[in-house]
Structure 1
Amino acid sequence: MNNGTASRRSDDSDTGMAKLTNEVISIEREHDDEGDVDITEDTMMEEDINRAPDGGYGWFIVFGSMLVHLIIGGLERSSGILFLKFDEKFQQSAVATAWVLSLSSGLRLTLGPVCSALCNRYSHRSVAISGSILVFISMIATALSPDLTFTYFSYGFLGGVGRLFAYAPSVIIVGEYFNKKRGVAVGMATCGVGFGSLFFPTMIEMFFKVYGYFGSFLLLAGVMLNLAISGCLFRPLWLHTQMAANQVRGRQLKDLESGTELLEQKSNTNKPKQAENRLSVSSRKSKTKTKKFIDLSLLKDFRFLCFCVAILLFTASFQIAFVFIPPYAKSKGMSDLQASYAVSIAGIFDGIGRILSGIVLDLKHVKKYRIYLYNIVMFFIGLTSFIVPNIDTFGPLSVMCGVYGLLVGAYMSQKSVIIVDILGVDNLSSSFGLLICFQGIGMFIGPPIAGAMKDVSGHFGGGFYLGGSSMLCGGLILTAANALHYFRKPKPDL
């Protein structure tokens, strides 16, 4: 009896060992097939997680992007101060002087797709650091500039390309590191523009008062090198995921040393290989997607095309205001410091507008009306542009600059959100590239036209009226597109 029981136990044990051995062999066969990478729902989910960590080191990416926005945004919001300094040094017409600032701002946007392609070919980090070096050289060359023509090259072309290389990677990489929290991350990063608008105009005015033209641009060159520090934080996503996979492998090797069971050992030790395979598949997929960065067929969407035209007209108006507010304030008898304060106030409320608009337009009951509210904001900015040239004292001008900054911040920060509402998230990369090209055209044409009007009329009010009219035209174009879309949209059956 005992012998029979022992025999059955032995048979059960042998059967169990045989099953375990078969399972281990099957696992080995599954994982030894390097060419076969099964992408199930779970692996696809893990790929999404690998592509967008949604936190962790991603917050250092946001911090680096915020610094880039602070420096570049602050410098561009100081265009009015720099316009006055270039005008004092070179004594040229307003339209000729305005072209220096338009060239640098326009190139930063118009060549955006080219910079995105370089980021795909190399890395966000290397492109951003290269950009900081170019901006540094640009400021040194501008400090030594003998005439306005050379300044077109030094500050306009070289500075514009350098700022492009530093700015575009800081926008793209935040979108790569975040998925579910992308709105919050982008909002925090772009808030740097508001901080830069607060500090830079006053700081640059103080530089010129104490150190003069040459010394101020030398100091600005040193400030621009901080863009390289921000660029160093832009760890490539493939490197981040590889480091994460190595950490997982290290923890699993420790588990193996602690004497886990054979089946768990075989499955766990192959998980890093699976992760690496998934990462390689994910990287191949992402490379395939980024090859077609610009899809011109998107312009066939009438609503999107109208949005691009509206952004072009908006940018022309927006750039006119920030270039000509300081000289307009001086023409009304205000001091240089008060003129810089006006720009700083607009910058403070710009940052507030970016945060508030993200919160309000993301509310559940507001989302479906988001593009219509966005359209209304455009009309209010146009009306504000008509009011500014009728103000003669610093107090009311400060209030209107605050209102203007609040509305502009709301409008600028929600561009990518509106693109997704129109075309969907799958077309975001290509559509954003097209949009910033239109925006760059607006940067080019706005200030020179307003400068020409000032040369003809002798005052700056015409530029603001031109900007307001441009903004209202853009609003009407977008309104027509929204109305057409609304009436064409199939109505639900009652």
Structure 2
Amino acid sequence: MADSEKQDGDRKFVASEGGWGWIVCLASFWINATIFGLNNSFGVLLVAMLGDPTLQKHGATVFNTAWIGSITVCISFFATYIASILTDRFGCRRTAVVGAIIAFVGCLSSSFAKRLGLLYFTYGILIGVGFALAYMPSLIILGHYFEKKIGKANGFATCGSGVSTVLLPPFLRFLINSFGLWYTLKFIAGLTFLLIPCALTFRSQRPKVKRKQNNSSVEDETSTNARCSSSCRSWLGRYINFGIWKNKNYRIWCSGVLIGLLGYFVPFTHLIKYVEEVSPDPHTNGPILISCIGLSSIVGGIAPGYISDKPAVKRVMTRIEFQQLSFIVIGTFNFLVPTLVLSFPALVVATLIMGIFDGCFVCMMVPVAIDILGPE
């Protein structure tokens, strides 16, 4: 009896590889679509904000208005570390629901905040915090349902950003031209409200691991905790996993991703306005370029995720090498924009190529982290 209990306690958790997991995957798809779609489409809102008479009275310029989107993107990623701590402590569902509510409140209040200072807070900080709290659980929860198919599941979920990047830029411009900036922000609030039912599907599957301890070890741990209760590091250790930073490969990977992301969103924010002002082609349509990136990123999000799960492919090219190649191509595109802007068709082709590698980069985030640190 004791042996069987020990075997049950030591038994490795086996993911279902489907079932309710595909509902969760679909919910993650919508969350990724909403968050990245809105972040990637901010260039459309930027042009509208610069042309809004109310914001012009308060001194709206490209520099100070672009800060709205910059704050959103910055906090969306910077706060994911805090979101991961909250997810470990309170679970994926609770964290994501709170994030969805905060994002909805931020979007709705932004439609009434007609000053840059208020928009920094409502659209920048509130939406950024909400997106971070909703986004991180949407990735973590996939590991509760998939292991062997994690690349495929993550590829499907992250391709939501590509779908929304195709549809949102031209649609947001249509709404702005038809109803104005502030009613468009109310529509965006409606999109973020749908994050709440999506987050409610995040039902945890991995059981919490209970450590077996004898009386002496409990006493030793109690005395140790008593001695370290005044230590700041001991307190932080309850919420932050310092152990992962001992992994050299993880430190290098995180540093590389951090450096790469410094310029990642520049095209999404400034490409529309830059191209429409500089391009000599009278048929230039800036939002179409962002849609092209989103369209091809769907392929780039699904195909590499599916291919990278194949053992034969792993022997030739690892997942992290897929991601490294993506960074190189995206960076090259940014360098070539001033030259490509002279020809709009060439710019369309370039954005289609960039989108493929953009989708590859995004869909490889979770699988690469799992490859480096393990699924637990």
Say yes or no: TM over 0.5. yes
CA contact (8 A) 1:205 1:336 kept: no
Structure 2 alignment gaps of length 5 or more: 212-236
Is the CA contact (8 Å cut-off) linking 2:154 and 2:366 kept in structure 1?
no
CA shift for structure 1 position 231: 1.5
Partner of 1:48: 13
Q: Deviations over 1:428-472 (max 9, x none)?
A: 7xxxxxxxxxxxxxxxxxxxxxxxxxxxxxxxxxxxxxxxxxxxx
1:62 aligns with 2:25: yes
Asked whether the 8 Å contact 1:67–1:230 carries over to 2, the reply is yes
Corresponding residue of 1:341:
288
8 Å Cα contact 2:165/2:294 also seen in 1: yes
Q: CA deviation at 1:225?
A: 0.9
For residue 271 of structure 2, what is the aligned residue in structure 1?
325
Q: 1:78 aligns with which of 1, 18, 41?
A: 41
CA offset at residue 206 of structure 1? Answer: 1.1
Given the alignment of the two structures, is residue 283 of structure 1 paired with residue 208 of structure 2, yes or no?
yes
What is the CA-CA distance between 1:302 and the residue it aligns to? 4.3
**Quick check: 1:129 aligned with 2:101?**
no
Q: 1:285 to 1:158 in 2, by over 3 A?
A: same
Q: Secondary structure at the match of 1:48?
A: coil
Superposition deviation, residue 425 in structure 1: 0.6
CA displacement at 1:301 relative to structure 2: 4.3
Deviation, 1:124, is 2.3
1:416 aligns with 2:366: yes
Q: 1:404 to 1:122 in 2, by over 3 A?
A: same
Matches of 2:269 and 2:292 in 1, distance apart?
15
Query: 2:258, 2:351 → 1: CA distance?
Result: 22
The corresponding residue for 1:111 is: 79
Answer yes or no: is 1:165 the counterpart of 2:133: yes
1:436 aligns with none
Tell me: CA distance 1:53–1:335, structure 2 relative to 1, closer, same or farther (3 Å): farther
Output the CA distance in 2 between the equivalents of 1:347 and 1:214: 25
Q: 1:105 to 1:384 in 2, by over 3 A?
A: same
Distance (whole Å) between structure 1 residues aligned to residue 247 and residue 201 of structure 2: 38
**Residues 124, 236 of structure 1: 8 Å contact kept:** yes
Matched, 1:385 2:348: no
Match of 1:155 among 105, 114, 123: 123
Distance 1:377 1:234, change over 3 A: closer
Q: Which amino acid aligns with 1:348?
A: L
Give 1:375 deviation, angstroms. 2.8
Q: Which residue is 1:402 aligned to? A: 352
Q: Does 1:88 align with 2:60?
A: no
Partner of 1:186: 154
Shift of 1:123: 3.5
Cα separation, partners in 2 of 1:354 and 1:76, compared to 1, 3 Å:
same
SS at match of 2:263: helix
- Residue 209 of structure 1 aligns with an amino acid whose one-letter code is N
Say which SS state the counterpart of residue 283 (structure 1) adopts: coil
2:151–2:308 CA contact under 8 A, matched in 1: no
Q: Which amino acid aligns with 2:114?
A: P
**AA partner of residue 199 (structure 1):** L
CA distance in 2, matches of 1:420, 1:177: 14
Asked if structure 2 preserves the Cα contact closer than 8 Å seen for 1:205 and 1:337, the reply is: no
Deviation at 1:38, TM superposition (A): 4.1
Which structure shows the bigger proportion of residues in helix conformation?
1
Shift of residue 404, structure 1, vs aligned partner? 0.9
Residues 286-307 of structure 1: CA distance to partner in whole angstroms, max 9, x if unpaired? 9xxxx86643454454443332
Kindly provide the amino acid, as one letter, of the partner of residue 361 in structure 2: Y
- Cα distance in 2 for partners of 1:303, 1:283 equals 27
2:189 to 221, 224, 229: 221
The CA deviation at 1:379 is 2.3
Q: Which residue of 2 aligns with 1:313?
A: 259
Structure 1 residues 110, 179: CA separation in 2 closer, same or farther (over 3 Å shift)? same
In structure 2, what is the equivalent of residue 304 of structure 1? Answer: 250
CA contact (8 A) 1:135 1:163 kept: yes
| TM-score normalized by the length of structure 1 | 0.64
CA distance in 2: counterparts of 1:192 and 1:213, whole angstroms: 24
Deviation at 1:337, TM superposition (A): 8.2
CA distance in 2 between counterparts of 1:165 and 1:67 reads 15
**Cα distance in structure 2, aligned partners of 1:207 and 1:333:** 26
CA 1:234–1:300: 2 relative to 1, 3 Å:
closer
Q: Does 1:376 align with 2:325?
A: yes
In structure 2, what is the equivalent of residue 449 of structure 1?
none
Aligned equivalent of 2:313: 366
Residue 170 of structure 2: aligned partner: 202
Query: Structure 2 CA distance, aligned partners of 1:219 and 1:374?
Result: 34
Deviations 1:7-59 (A, max 9, x none): xxxxxxxxxxxxxxxxxxxxxxx5xxxxx6844446644x613xx32211111
Counterparts of 1:364 and 1:355, CA distance in 2: 17
Is the 1:53–1:178 Cα contact (8 Å) retained in structure 2? yes
Using the alignment, how far apart are the partners of 1:196 and 1:169 within structure 2? 20
Equivalent position amino acid for 2:347 in 1:
L
Equivalent pairs, count: 342
Distance between the aligned counterparts of 1:333 and 1:216, measured in 2? Answer: 30
- What's the CA shift for 1:401? 0.7
CA distance, structure 1, for counterparts of residue 133 and residue 20 of structure 2: 22
- Distance (Å, rounded) in 2 between the aligned partners of 1:191 and 1:138: 25
What CA deviation, in whole Å up to 9, does each residue of 1:365-414 have, x standing for no partner?
Answer: 43143244543333222222222221223311111110111112112221
Which residue identity is paired with 1:305?
Answer: R
Unpaired stretches in structure 1, ≥5 consecutive residues: 1-29, 31-35, 239-281, 429-494
Name the structure 1 match of 2:202: 234
TM-score by length of 2: 0.82
1:295 alignment partner in structure 2: 241
Q: CA RMSD in A?
A: 2.6
